[in-house]
Amino acid sequence: MTPTDPSPRPDSSPRPDPCLQSDPSLDSDPSLSSTVTVVIVDDETLIRSGVRAILATDPGIEVVGEAGDGHEAVEVIRAMRPAVVLLDIRMPRLNGLDAIPEILRQLPTTKIVILTTFGEDAYIAEALERGASGFLLKASDPRELRDAVHAVAGGAAYLSPRVAHRVIDRLRAGPRPDAEAQSRVEPLSPREREVLALIGAGCSNAEVAARLFLTEGTVKGYVSSILTKLEAENRVQAAILAHRAGLVA
């Protein structure tokens, strides 16, 4: 009988390379997916079906869920973790405006685009101030809907042309600078105020860089710092604050 060797044999099975292992926290971030996942929230089934059909024509967009009211939306969005939510305003149980902060509280990286028939100034301002990244009217062209989804998923803000004109007109005819807005911009450095003023005037990062003789990368750094200090969700909120604080002539 051959004696057994009591010494343990080395494990020859391949070991995983820690450098190649994915970070679970990154896998859960919807913004990192190459396909933009979307949840449609509207109390009308026909509207949801129409929006789904429009988005289905874009291979870079995938509708992963639907909801008929704000409460249902919060549950579906929590389960599906979409990159973008298309959200109606007037719905039963919980309206879209009240649903925005609840959605962002649970999924701060998810982008919200209001999709509604109501383009009144009060709705636009309230939606943007609560954290929406876009505002689109249901009468918009189908291509505009797809463009809006991709834009906000990429970190930009999106307003349909008609809405953008209303925002501009409202800001131009706005009240005198208010004390609350001025106190919020107080922590900004002089250079950051210059950048914020140009954002409020509608300038892109490239345009800000050209006007202030900076690199575009430097401007991006300033914008990131500004949004952090102002506790703003996006450039649209920062632009509104710039006008309220009287930084835009």
- Rounded distance between C-alpha atoms, residue 241 and residue 237, angstroms: 6
Whether residue 156 is predicted with pLDDT greater than 70 in this model: the reply is: yes
Q: For residue 77, with 0-12 CB atoms within 10 Å meaning exposed, 13-18 middle and 19 or more buried, which class applies?
A: buried
Across 160-164, average pLDDT: 85
pLDDT tens readout for residues 165-223: 877 776 666 555 677 888 889 999 989 999 999 998 888 899 999 999 999 999 999 99
- Rounded distance between C-alpha atoms, residue 138 and residue 85, angstroms: 15
CB 83 within 8 A of CB 110: yes
- Rounded distance between C-alpha atoms, residue 125 and residue 123, angstroms: 6
In the DSSP assignment, the letter for residue 93 is S
Q: Residue 246 — left, alpha, or beta (φ > 0 → left; ψ -120 to 50 → alpha)?
A: left
Across 98-104, average pLDDT: 93
- Rounded distance between C-alpha atoms, residue 52 and residue 107, angstroms: 22
Domains along the sequence of the chain with CATH: 36-171 (3.40.50.2300), 175-245 (1.10.10.10)
Instruction: Give backbone dihedrals phi and psi of 107, rounded to 5 degrees, phi first.
Output: -135, 80
Closest CA to 222 of 240, 199, 195, 249: 195
Whether residue 20 is predicted with pLDDT greater than 50 in this model: the reply is: no
Whether residue 45 is predicted with pLDDT greater than 60 in this model: the reply is: yes
Q: Give residue 17's pLDDT.
A: 44
C-alpha distance across the termini of the chain, in Å: 97
Q: Give residue 21's pLDDT.
A: 42
CB 43 within 8 A of CB 9: no
Instruction: Give backbone dihedrals phi and psi of 61, rounded to 5 degrees, phi first.
Output: -125, 135
- The model's confidence at residue 27, banded by pLDDT at 50, 70 and 90, is very low
Q: Which residue has the higher pLDDT, 172 or 46?
A: 46
Q: Give residue 120's pLDDT.
A: 77
CB 248 within 8 A of CB 197: yes
Across 149-178, average pLDDT: 80
What type of residue sits at position 125?
A
Q: What proportion of the chain, given as a percentage, has pLDDT over 70? A: 83
Q: Which residue has the higher pLDDT, 56 or 92?
A: 56
In the DSSP assignment, the letter for residue 127 is H
Whether residue 125 is predicted with pLDDT greater than 70 in this model: the reply is: yes
Whether residue 51 is predicted with pLDDT greater than 80 in this model: the reply is: yes
Whether residue 50 is predicted with pLDDT greater than 90 in this model: the reply is: yes
- The model's confidence at residue 29, banded by pLDDT at 50, 70 and 90, is low
Q: Give residue 177's pLDDT.
A: 61
Q: Give residue 209's pLDDT.
A: 92
Pairing of strands 36-41, 84-87: parallel
Q: Give residue 2's pLDDT.
A: 45
Name the residue with tokens 């939606």: 127
